[in-house]
Every structure is written in structure tokens, then in C-alpha cells.
């Protein structure tokens, strides 16, 4: 028997095509949900995109029939309808002015009208699911696209590999060392620590390209990168990827204080100012309140963006030291651009080194939109912390950054590094461990 799925607002704001996720079962959109979606349609982020797309989908269906009576979504799909509720169905102790309660009442009305058919509320809101359960209404979470089941399964960019003691000696002597797929499974641009199976203190750091090429040694540049030297092997690996123009897509994740943004900026300044591989350094980050609040802040766009980009500014000031005049000149002549992510989506950027900070707050759709803006001779860096997601519609396994890491890991044009060690200060490192 066909089921009836009642979609909460947050489901449609997560994925506007969610109405097509239930095959030949029927879909009910509560009237209150349309009101909620309308409040988000002017936002300039992924939520706004989904709100507008949802309205367009429903409008196109409206032309095929009456949405109250129901319209078939297409061949092989069920019927979608927009329905309200009967006030008599309101359970005791529930406030009808609350949007969630109106959606629950719509489900109760559908249960009463549809008899034996199973009515299921779909919501990403945990409290909504708890309330439904208390009222004996079947409720489930929306199954969003997850590239991995757990964060522990996300590609780290680094492996340890036990080898014979003599192989490490041969590697250090300059001999070409080839790794076989049968002995260790590696992705392009993945890093390997060769560890002696006779003496665990004897090791070598190497970078893997593919199984047809020998592994290469990894070390810090003698002069550092923009005067910076790595403080651990993970930072060394990160610099290796950041400084390689043959790897135009680099992703980095790590906890606060591990240095991911600082490393990306240092490599960017080195390649824009010193080696001139790229013409400009472009820095941006998603700002969750941007779509709603930024327009109400006083001043120009630069002044509005300043509070959200202060972490980037702090890192730039650290790297430039006392030479603030030079930094101001680079901002004035366009060598360094700090851009609102909203406006990057409409550009085609060439000959640039782009850093997207806090990329864990991007949806997969937003990430695709941004990366497709990348033009010739452009390198894009995505950094973020999977434990600090501010977007209520995303989690650690469904955000754009996790998606990019997993989708790009088997391509030679990309590289990834997970930074685990905090290097900001002893206090910050201690806080990350014990708090």
C-alpha cells in the first residue's frame, strides 16, 4: 500500500528535489511549510537557493493540475498535494501558533482521512521527531547524501607502511622505490611514512603519485614558505601540496589552532608575491548570517564583511609582521582580495590562488557552484573543521568539504591533508584536549 510522506520545511530547504525521493508514494506539503519557505527565498546562500527551487517546482506542478487535489510528480512517482489541517485535530497542550505543531496537525488530519494508509512525517528537526513519537506519529529523518558513514572514514591523506629496513636505506640513497597495490592501497598525492619493521624509530616520509611512478621524498624548503617552516609532518605534507601547481585542488581539515588557514595564506603569499605563479590571492569564507543580516550592517560591503573575515585578517597581519603598509598596498592594487562568497559564485576567476576558509559550512551544491568558477591557472584551497559546523542543515558527513575530500581523493589534480596537532599555543592545545 502506498505511503504518505509529509515533508517538514527543513527537508525542502536541505534539498529542493526531496519531493522526488519517495518514488511512487504520495507527498503532502503542509500549507504552513509554504509560508516558512517564503521567508527564506531572498537569502543568498544554499538555503535560499533551495527555497526558490522548491517554489519553482511547485509552480510548474500547479500548471498541470490542482495542488489541493493532488498532481502526479511524473511517471513512476506518486501524487503531491498541498494540504492544511482541521483545528479539531490539535492535541492538548500544543500551541497552534507554532509552525511545527501545525505540521503535526496536518499529519493527524491525514491519518484520520486516509484510514489504513501509513502516514510518515519527514523532518531533520530532532525535537520535531520526538514530538511526533510522543503523539504516535511515525517520523523519520531525511536521508541526505553522505559520502561516508562516520568522520573516521573520511580520507586522511596519510598512511603508515611497514617495510624492510633495507628499503628505507635504498630510498634515502636515491634509488627509485615503487609501491605495489597488493602491499598498500594509496590514492594519488597521498603521503606515506615508511617505517622499518625492525626498528620503529627508523622511518622516511614520502609522497605517492601513482603506481607507475616511484615515490618521492618530502622535506621542508630550506628558507621555509613565506618565512614559515612546518612544525610537524602533517604541516610539511600540507606545504608540499599547497606549493605544487600541478595540484590545483587542495583540501585541509583540522581542529582550531592546527594552522590550516595560516599555511594556506603563507603558501598563497609566496606564490603570488615572490614566485608570481599567480596574479592575485583571493580569500573568502561562508558566513551563515550573511544572507539575512549583512544587509542591515552599516557601511560599504568591505566594512560589512570585516567582522566575518577578521580571522583571515589576523593571519595576514601575523604573516606580514610589521610591514602593514605593504599589506595595505596589496589590498588597494588588487593583489589580495577578500571577497564575499556570495559574489564569487557569479565570477570566473583565472590566474589566482583562492582560499575558501570554513568550507565545512558549504552544502554540496554551493561547493560545486564555487569550484566550477575556477578558470585557467587557478589553484583553490578548501579548509575547515568538521567539528565546527554552523549550518543547521549540514553535518560532519554531508557537508560540501567532506563531499569534496571523498569525491576528489582518487584524482591526480587534487590532494588532501588532515591536520591533527594543534600549534597555536600551549593553552589552545590544552583546551582542545581537555575541554
For residue 202, what pLDDT is reported? 95
Q: Is pLDDT of 288 > 60?
A: no
Query: Can you spell out the DSSP letters for 89-130?
Result: GPPTT--TTSHHHHHHHHHHHHHHHHTTS-EEEE-S-HHHHH
Which residue blocks in 144-229 are alpha helix, DSSP H? 165-172
Of 212-221, 315-324, 405-414, where does mean pLDDT reach its minimum?
Answer: 315-324
Q: What is the mean predicted confidence (pLDDT) over 148-163?
A: 92
Domain 4-140 belongs in CATH node 3.40.50.1010: yes
Q: Taking 80 as the threshold, does the pLDDT of residue 344 lie above it? A: no
Residue 102 has pLDDT above 60, yes or no: yes
Compute the distance between CA of residue 377 and CA of residue 354 in angstroms, rounded to an integer. 11
Q: In this predicted model, what pLDDT tens digit does every residue of 128-142 receive, in sequence order?
A: 999 999 999 999 999
User: Which pLDDT value is given to residue 298?
Assistant: 58
Average of per-residue pLDDT across 91-103: 88
Identify whether the C-beta of residue 237 lies closer than 8 Å to the C-beta of residue 157. yes
> What is the number of other CB atoms lying within 10 angstroms of the CB of residue 120?
18
Query: Looking at the DSSP assignment, which residues form a beta bridge with residue 336?
Result: 281
The reported pLDDT for the residue numbered 299 is: 61
Question: What pLDDT shows up at residue 84?
Answer: 92
Question: HSE-up of 209 (CA within 13 Å, CB side)?
Answer: 14
Measured distance CA(143)–CA(339) in Å, rounded: 33
What is the four-CA torsion angle of 348, 283, 365, 121, rounded to 10 degrees?
Answer: -150
Q: Give the residue from 243, 171, 172, 173 showing the smallest Cα distance to 214.
A: 171
The whole-number pLDDT of residue 289 equals 47
CA 250 – CA 260 distance, rounded (Å): 11
Report yes or no: 283 and 336 within 8 Å, Cβ to Cβ: yes
As a whole number of angstroms, the distance between CA 145 and CA 388 comes to: 19
Q: Is the pLDDT of residue 433 over 70?
A: no
Residue 62 has pLDDT above 70, yes or no: yes
Mean pLDDT throughout 72-89?
A: 90
Is the pLDDT at 396 greater than 80, yes or no? yes
Q: Note the pLDDT of residue 395.
A: 87
Can 4-140 and 231-434 be said to share one CATH topology? yes
Which residues lie below 8 Å from residue 330, measured CB to CB, with a gap of 6+? Answer: 273, 336
Residue 308 banded pLDDT, cuts 50, 70, 90: low
Confidence tier at 312 by pLDDT (50, 70, 90): confident
- Buried b / exposed e across 296-308, counting CB within 10 Å, b at 16+? eeeeeeeebbeeb
**Domain spans of the chain, in order of start:** 4-140, 231-434
**338 - beta bridge partners?**
283
The pLDDT-based confidence of 347 (bands split at 50, 70, 90) is confident
Give 390 or 7, the one with higher predicted confidence: 7
The confidence score (pLDDT) of residue 429 equals: 66
CB 403 within 8 A of CB 147: yes
Mean pLDDT of 62-71: 94
Using CA atoms, how far apart are residues 333 and 315, in angstroms rounded to an integer? 20
**In this structure, are residues 359 and 400 in contact, taking their beta carbons and an 8 Å threshold?**
yes
At 234, the pLDDT band (50, 70, 90 cuts) reads very high
Q: What is the pLDDT of residue 336?
A: 92
**Percentage with pLDDT > 70 across the chain:** 91
pLDDT: is 148 or 411 the higher one?
411
What values do phi and psi take at 207, rounded to 5?
Answer: -120, 130
d(CA 136, CA 130): 10
The yes/no answer on whether domain 231-434 falls in CATH 3.40.50.920 is: no
- pLDDT at 95 > cutoff 90: no
Let me know: does 248 contact 378? Beta carbons within 8 Å. yes
| Statement: residue 380 has pLDDT above 90 | yes
State the average pLDDT over residues 34-56: 91
Can you tell me the mean pLDDT for 244-271? 95
Question: Is residue 26 predicted with pLDDT exceeding 50?
Answer: yes
Amino acid at each position: 500500500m502506498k505511503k504518505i510522506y509529509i515533508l517538514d520545511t527543513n527537508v525542502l530547504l536541505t534539498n529542493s528535489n526531496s519531493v522526488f525521493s519517495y518514488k511512487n508514494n504520495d507527498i503532502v506539503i503542509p500549507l504552513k511549510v509554504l509560508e516558512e519557505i517564503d521567508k527564506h527565498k531572498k537569502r543568498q546562500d544554499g538555503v535560499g537557493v533551495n527555497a526558490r527551487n522548491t517554489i519553482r517546482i511547485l509552480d510548474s506542478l500547479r500548471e498541470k493540475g490542482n495542488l489541493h487535489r493532488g498532481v502526479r510528480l511524473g511517471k513512476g512517482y506518486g501524487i503531491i498535494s498541498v494540504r492544511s489541517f482541521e483545528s479539531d485535530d490539535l492535541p492538548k497542550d500544543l500551541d497552534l501558533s507554532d509552525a511545527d505543531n501545525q505540521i503535526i496537525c496536518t499529519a493527524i488530519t491525514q491519518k484520520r482521512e486516509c484510514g489504513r494508509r501509513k502516514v510518515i512525517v519527514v523532518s531533520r528537526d530532532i525535537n520535531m521527531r520526538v514530538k511526533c513519537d510522543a503523539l504516535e506519529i511515525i517520523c523519520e529523518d531525511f536521508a541526505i547524501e553522505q559520502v561516508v558513514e562516520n568522520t573516521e572514514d573520511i580520507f586522511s591523506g596519510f598512511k603508515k607502511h611497514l617495510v624492510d629496513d633495507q628499503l628505507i636505506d635504498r630510498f634515502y640513497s636515491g634509488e627509485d622505490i615503487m609501491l605495489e597495490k597488493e602491499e598498500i592501497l594509496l590514492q594519488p598525492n597521498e603521503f606515506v611514512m615508511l617505517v622499518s619493521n625492525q626498528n620503529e624509530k627508523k622511518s622516511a616520509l614520502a609522497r605517492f603519485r601513482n603506481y607507475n611512478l616511484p615515490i618521492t621524498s618530502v622535506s621542508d624548503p630550506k628558507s621555509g614558505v613565506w618565512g614559515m617552516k612546518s612544525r610537524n609532518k602533517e604541516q610539511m605534507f600540507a606545504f608540499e601540496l599547497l606549493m605544487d601547481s600541478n595540484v590545483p585542488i587542495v583540501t585541509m581539515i583540522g581542529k582550531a589552532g592546527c594552522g590550516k588557514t595560516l599555511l594556506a595564506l603563507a603558501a598563497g603569499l609566496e606564490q603570488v608575491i615572490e614566485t608570481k605563479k599567480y596574479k592575485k590571492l583571493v580569500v573568502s569564507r561562508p558566513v551563515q548570517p550573511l544572507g539575512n543580516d549583512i544587509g542591515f550592517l552599516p557601511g560599504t560591503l568591505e566594512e560589512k564583511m570585516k567582522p566575518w573575515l577578521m580571522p583571515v585578517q589576523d593571519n595576514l597581519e601575523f604573516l606580514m609582521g610589521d610591514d602593514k603598509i605593504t599589506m595595505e598596498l596589496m589590498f588597494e592594487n588588487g593583489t589580495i582580495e577578500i571577497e564575499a562568497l556570495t559574489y564569487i559564485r557569479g565570477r570566473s576567476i583565472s590566474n589566482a590562488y583562492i582560499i575558501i576558509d570554513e568550507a565545512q559550512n558549504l552544502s554540496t551544491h554551493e561547493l560545486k557552484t564555487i569550484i566550477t568558477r575556477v578558470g585557467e591557472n587557478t589553484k583553490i584551497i578548501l579548509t575547515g573543521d568538521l567539528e565546527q559546523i554552523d549550518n543547521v542543515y549540514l553535518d560532519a558527513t554531508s557537508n560540501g568539504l567532506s563531499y569534496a575530500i571523498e569525491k576528489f581523493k582518487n584524482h591526480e589534480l587534487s590532494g588532501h591533508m588532515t591536520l591533527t596537532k594543534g600549534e597555536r599555543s600551549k593553552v589552545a592545545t590544552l583546551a582542545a584536549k581537555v575541554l
